[in-house]
Copies of this chain bind each other. A is one copy, B any other.
């Protein structure tokens, strides 16, 4: 069990879609693990999970589960994080939380390593992993902010169903089968499990992700607005989002319009800047029909950017198309990347 030297890692929500990707990512990165603890809700406890060829039995998460843990990766829903993250911190663990429970707390760093890794130094035990659709956007925008200044962002998303969990993916596939076979079906999960009305997702586009707020924006849209400002340290940035769920299994896409501060910048300047930007893969060659697509992003850690065009009227305006695997850079990979940063920055030490 585990290596000679390494960290004691707990994964909370180990049986979920993101938890499974966290385990695959820890394997692929060969993350130095001394001891691995797999935790879940009572419902999933007892499930057997394989990691590096060894079988683990998932245990029900409880306060004492975190004794001796160095880093706990949480992805079991906001209520689990609310209840157990403070217990983990009390016992000396650093929590990397993939839920929205703590993201906007002023004493909790909200971190995308390519953008604001240094914010990790100020942590008080809990570090928040941003919303999937926010992460991929700020990775692409941060190099532009640094080089040209950033003033305004208008984003329309094309979001995959796996962001709503494995049951939502199964629902989409069942609906698609029913429609192709000309059979009846009753939507049961999407757009929002806890909302009253359910709508068809297969062969449809649903402009609601998460619940509506009083201002008419959804919670998902306000996450993109508020988290982008916090991660980029730009409370004054103008941001607006329209978030739409699509019949795509994995891979979020975003149509993004920005206005930068500097004049005289060309699309080619931005392409050259993003070509060498950390975490970004430029896929932008219209004459060869090269542009990012969700089906090609699955299983990859990168943020893919293409369709970069200067606005036809606004000297400081640009359009781009940003795609990434929502379960990896949007969740599991960003969380593991934060753990790697903590280690490299000496904020946690191998035993």
Contact = CB atoms under 8 A, between A and B. Distances in A.
B286 A321 contact: no
A217 B309 CA distance: 7
B204 A294 contact: yes
A286 B200 contact: no
A289 B208 contact: yes
A193 to B, nearest CB: 13
Nearest to A308: B216
A158 interface: yes
B293 A216 contact: no
Contacts of A306: 207
The complex is assembled from copies of this chain, and their number is 2
Given A177-B180, A180-B180, A205-B293, 15 more contacts: A156-B156, A158-B158, A176-B180, A191-B289, A195-B289, A199-B289, A205-B294, A206-B293, A207-B292, A212-B289, A225-B312, A238-B314, A239-B312, A240-B312, A244-B253
Contact of A242 (B196, B287, B319): B319
A180 B172 CA distance: 11
B203 A248 contact: yes
B196 A289 contact: yes
A247 interface: yes
A128 to B, nearest CB: 22
A293 B308 CA distance: 28
A173 interface: yes
Given A156-B255, A206-B293, A257-B154, A238 B309 contact: no
A216 B268 CA distance: 11
12 contacts: A154-B154, A195-B289, A199-B289, A203-B295, A207-B293, A208-B289, A212-B287, A212-B289, A225-B312, A239-B312, A242-B307, A242-B319
A289 B197 contact: yes
B207 A307 contact: yes
Given A180-B176, A307-B242, A247 B207 contact: no
Given A240-B319, A295-B200, A205 B248 contact: yes
Interface string A86-114: 00000000000000000000000000000
Interface residues of A, number: 60
Contacts of A200: 293, 295
Interface in A296-351: 306-314, 317, 319, 321
A287 to B, nearest CB: 7
Interface string A177-199: 10010000000000100011101
B286 A216 contact: yes
Contact of A255 (B242, B249, B287, B294): B242
Contacts of A272: none
Given A200-B295, A314-B238, A319-B240, A309 B216 contact: yes
B207 A253 contact: yes
B158 A244 contact: yes
Contacts of A257: 154, 240, 257
Nearest to A306: B207
5 A-B pairs with the lowest CB-CB distances in the bound complex, closest first:
A156-B255, A238-B313, A212-B286, A156-B156, A204-B295
Nearest to A309: B216
